[in-house]
């Protein structure tokens, strides 16, 4: 068994490049969570002064999240994370508007917490159009126009794809949806916030998850335009405007607001850092015979997907892990299964390229020195695996 000292030394020396799976919590976020739990642990629904203090903190966090998301005219529903927020957004909208129509639109490369919800709604009698993507992983706006109908009540398009980093034309899509239909527009923006400049102005519902931008796991939110009423998923005491019952997680809300503020403040500088790191990686991989690029030049700066066709992604991941370098095969939500990536399949990659695919995802505090070390270790570890293959 490793000693505490050995564990700490290993953590310090490791190169973590799986930030799209989860990020390291910021110390200020952790301290805010601890402080609220230690000093303001009263139930915000209680009428005594101790409960009122907790309620005040919760309401302040909600207001901060409205402002930081750029959706000041929305309601903020705090959830357990991206999966719950996506479920609430899609099912809550579909059920509340089904009297106006039962046609829904999404894309073929959404996160499972979106795709599986749409599949479930199909079983309940809703009709779903799945927009295809090109090799770059981007939808066609003409396809979106053609898919919209009078009975379309919801469109859900992710902001940034979690496997290949493709960025969808959210603003343009929003204008099309508003001009050609009465449908509501939702975006899973989990991989976008804090990494690139986001524009949520044309959206009705936005999903965010704290642990994707140096917050804590188990904290997320759904921003909902005030004129949209959702059918609740969780019923009970009527907390959070009756949309998400249950004793509210004050510490989670406060720490989420803290993580959003830090991400927002550091985003411009972080974007440039991410671009520099990705440029270095791209220059390296372009000159490697064993590697083929998957992510295009237009992809988000923090996600780079490549494939080593002569190997499997698992072999590459495990070989690098032995050197304390951590990447993954695709989405962390599916990397432990034998399922072929639906994203890479939709982009038209061959089975061989899909089997060899790996994802390198950067953190906003990544350094060029770490990327240089990664390159050195790749050169040391991967070529020997190809001998005799």
The residues carrying an active-site annotation are 333
Say how many Å lie between the first and final Cα of the chain, rounded. 36
Give CA 266 to chain center in angstroms. 18
Q: Which of 278, 328, 337 is nearest to 304 (CA)?
A: 278
What's 19's DSSP letter?
T
Residue 1: Cβ-neighbour burial (10 angstroms; 0-12, 13-18, 19+):
exposed
Tell me if residue 349 falls in helix, strand or coil: coil
The continuous run of DSSP H or E covering 58 comes out as helix 49-69
Number of CB atoms found within 10 A of residue 341's CB: 23
8 A C-beta contact, residue 176 and residue 143: no
Q: What is the 3-state secondary structure (H, E, C) of 238-264?
A: CCHHHCECCCCCHHHHHHHHHHHHHHH
Q: b/e per residue, 128-142, with b = 16+ CB within 10 A?
A: bbbbebeebbbbeee
Q: Which of 263, 259, 257, 266 is nearest to 66 (CA)?
A: 257
> From CA 11, how far away is CA 35, in angstroms rounded?
26
């Amino acid at each position: 068994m490793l000693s505490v000292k050995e564990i700490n030394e290993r953590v310090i020396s490791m190169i973590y490049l799986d930030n799209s799976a989860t990020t390291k919590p910021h110390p200020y976020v952790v301290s805010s969570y601890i402080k609220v739990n230690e000093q303001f642990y009263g139930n915000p629904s209680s009428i005594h002064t101790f409960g009122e203090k907790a309620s005040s903190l919760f309401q302040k966090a909600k207001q901060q999240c409205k402002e930081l998301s750029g959706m000041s005219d929305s309601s903020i529903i705090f959830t357990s994370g991206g999966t719950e927020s996506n479920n609430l957004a899609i099912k809550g909208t579909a059920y509340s508007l089904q009297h106006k129509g039962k046609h829904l639109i999404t894309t073929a490369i959404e996160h499972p917490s979106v795709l599986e919800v749409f599949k479930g709604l199909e079983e309940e009698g809703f009709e779903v159009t799945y927009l295809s993507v090109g090799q770059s992983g981007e939808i066609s706006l003409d396809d979106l126009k053609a898919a919209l109908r009078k009975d379309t009540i919801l469109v859900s398009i992710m902001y940034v794809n979690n496997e290949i980093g493709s960025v969808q034309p959210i603003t343009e899509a929003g204008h099309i949806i508003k001009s050609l239909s009465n449908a509501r527009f939702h975006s899973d923006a989990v991989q976008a916030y804090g990494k690139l400049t986001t524009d949520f102005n044309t959206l009705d519902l936005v999903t965010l998850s704290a642990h994707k931008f140096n917050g804590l796991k188990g904290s997320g939110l759904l921003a909902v335009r005030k004129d949209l009423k959702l059918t609740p998923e969780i019923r009970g005491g009527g907390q959070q405007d009756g949309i998400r019952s249950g004793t509210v997680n004050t510490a989670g809300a406060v720490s989420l607001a803290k993580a959003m503020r830090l991400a927002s403040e550091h985003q411009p500088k972080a974007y440039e850092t991410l671009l520099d790191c990705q440029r270095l990686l791209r220059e390296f991989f372009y000159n490697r015979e064993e590697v083929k690029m998957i992510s295009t030049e237009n992809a988000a700066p923090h996600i780079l997907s490549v494939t080593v066709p002569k190997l499997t992604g698992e072999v590459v991941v495990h070989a690098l892990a032995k050197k304390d370098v951590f990447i993954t095969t695709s989405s962390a939500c599916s990397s432990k299964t034998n399922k072929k990536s639906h994203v890479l399949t939709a982009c038209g990659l061959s089975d061989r390229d899909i089997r060899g695919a790996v994802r390198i995802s950067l953190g906003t505090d990544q350094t060029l020195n770490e990327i240089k070390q990664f390159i050195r270790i790749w050169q040391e570890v991967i070529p020997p695996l190809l001998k005799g293959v």
